[in-house]
Amino acid sequence: MMLVLLIAVPLLAGLLCLPLSTIHRKAPFWLSLAALTADLLVAASIWANCQTDAVAAASAGRWLISFRIDWIPQLGVGIHFALDGLSLILVGLTEFLGIAAAISSWSEINERAGYFYANLMFTISGILGVFMSLDLFLFYFFWELMLVPMYFLIGIWGHENRAYASMKFFIFTQAGGLLMLISILGLYFIHGRATGIYTFDYVQLLGTALSEPEGTWLMLGFAVAFAVKLPAVPLHPWLADAHTEAPTAGSIILAGLLLKTGAYGFLRFVIPLFPAASAAISLPAMIIGTVSILYGAAMAFSQTDFKRMVAYTSVSHMGFVLLGIFAFNEVAVQGAIVQMVAHGISTGMLFFIAGALQERMHTRDLTLMGGMWSTAPRMGAVTLIFAAASLGLPGTGNFVGEFLVLLGSWQAGAAITAIATTGLIAATVYAVWLMHVTFFCSAGTEWKFPDFSFREMAVAVVMIAAIVAIGLYPAPLLKVSALPVRAILNNTYVVPDAAALSQQSRAAVKPGVIR
494 binds other proteins (CB under 8 A): no
Query: Cα(154)–Cα(156) distance, rounded to whole angstroms?
Result: 6
Write down the least CB distance from residue 484 to other proteins, Å. Answer: 12
Give CB contacts under 8 A, 24+ apart, made by 416-422: 416/283, 416/286, 416/287, 416/290, 416/323, 417/323, 419/290, 419/294, 420/289, 420/290, 420/293, 420/294, 420/319, 420/320, 420/323, 422/294
Write down the least CB distance from residue 248 to other proteins, Å. Answer: 23
328 binds other proteins (CB under 8 A): no
Query: Cα(383)–Cα(385) distance, rounded to whole angstroms?
Result: 5
Write down the least CB distance from residue 17 to other proteins, Å. Answer: 35
334 binds other proteins (CB under 8 A): yes
336 binds other proteins (CB under 8 A): no
Applying CB under 8 A, the span of 107-115, 360-368, 385-393, 505-513 interacting with other proteins comes to 385-393
CA-nearest of 416, 187, 179 to 294 is 416
Write down the least CB distance from residue 341 to other proteins, Å. Answer: 13
179 binds other proteins (CB under 8 A): no
Cis peptide before 231 (omega within 30 of 0): yes
Applying CB under 8 A, the span of 73-81, 147-155, 183-191, 476-484 interacting with other proteins comes to 476-484
β-pair partners for 70: 78
Query: Cα(502)–Cα(76) distance, rounded to whole angstroms?
Result: 11
453 binds other proteins (CB under 8 A): no
* HSE (side-chain half, CA atoms, 13 Å) at 213: 0
Write down the least CB distance from residue 11 to other proteins, Å. Answer: 33
Write down the least CB distance from residue 81 to other proteins, Å. Answer: 27
Position 345: which residue type?
A: I
Contact 251, 351 (CB under 8 A): yes
What single DSSP character describes residue 509?
P
Contact 292, 315 (CB under 8 A): yes
61 binds other proteins (CB under 8 A): no
Between 128 and 406, CB nearer to other proteins:
406
Between 418 and 508, CB nearer to other proteins:
418
Residue 16 φ/ψ region, left for φ over 0, alpha for ψ in the -120 to 50 degree band, beta for the rest = alpha
Contact 497, 72 (CB under 8 A): no
331 binds other proteins (CB under 8 A): yes
Write down the least CB distance from residue 514 to other proteins, Å. Answer: 24
Applying CB under 8 A, the span of 29-37, 84-92, 342-350, 474-482 interacting with other proteins comes to 474-482
115 binds other proteins (CB under 8 A): no
Between 414 and 513, CB nearer to other proteins:
414
Write down the least CB distance from residue 330 to other proteins, Å. Answer: 3
DSSP H or E run through 66: strand 65-72
- Within 196-329, residue ranges assigned H as helices are 202-205, 212-229, 237-245, 248-253, 259-265, 271-273, 275-280, 282-302, 306-325
Give the residue, chosen from 73, 237, 284, 476, that forms a contact with other proteins under the rule CB under 8 A. 237
441 binds other proteins (CB under 8 A): yes
Between 145 and 464, CB nearer to other proteins:
464
Applying CB under 8 A, the span of 193-201, 261-269, 330-338, 494-502 interacting with other proteins comes to 330-338
C-alpha torsion angle, residues 38, 41, 42, 44 (rounded to 10): 160
> Which x/- pattern over 244-283 shows residues binding other proteins (rule: CB under 8 A)?
----------------------------------------
DSSP H or E run through 164: helix 162-195
Q: Return the residues of window 399-428 that contact other proteins according to CB under 8 A.
A: 399-400, 403-404, 406-408, 410-411, 414, 417-418, 421-422, 424-425, 428
Interface with other proteins: number of residues (CB under 8 A): 63
314 binds other proteins (CB under 8 A): no
Contact 262, 336 (CB under 8 A): no
Q: Return the residues of window 293-312 that contact other proteins according to CB under 8 A.
A: 298-299, 301-304
Contact 328, 410 (CB under 8 A): no
DSSP string, 313-376: HHHHHHHHHHHHHTT-SHHHHHHHHHHHHHHHHHHHHHHHHHHHHHHHHS--BGGG---TTTT-
Position 252: which residue type?
A: I
Write down the least CB distance from residue 237 to other proteins, Å. Answer: 4
Q: Which residues bind other proteins (CB under 8 A)?
A: 233-234, 236-237, 240, 298-299, 301-304, 329-335, 371, 373-374, 377, 381, 384, 388, 391, 393-395, 399-400, 403-404, 406-408, 410-411, 414, 417-418, 421-422, 424-425, 428-429, 432-433, 435-436, 439-442, 472-475, 478-479, 482, 485
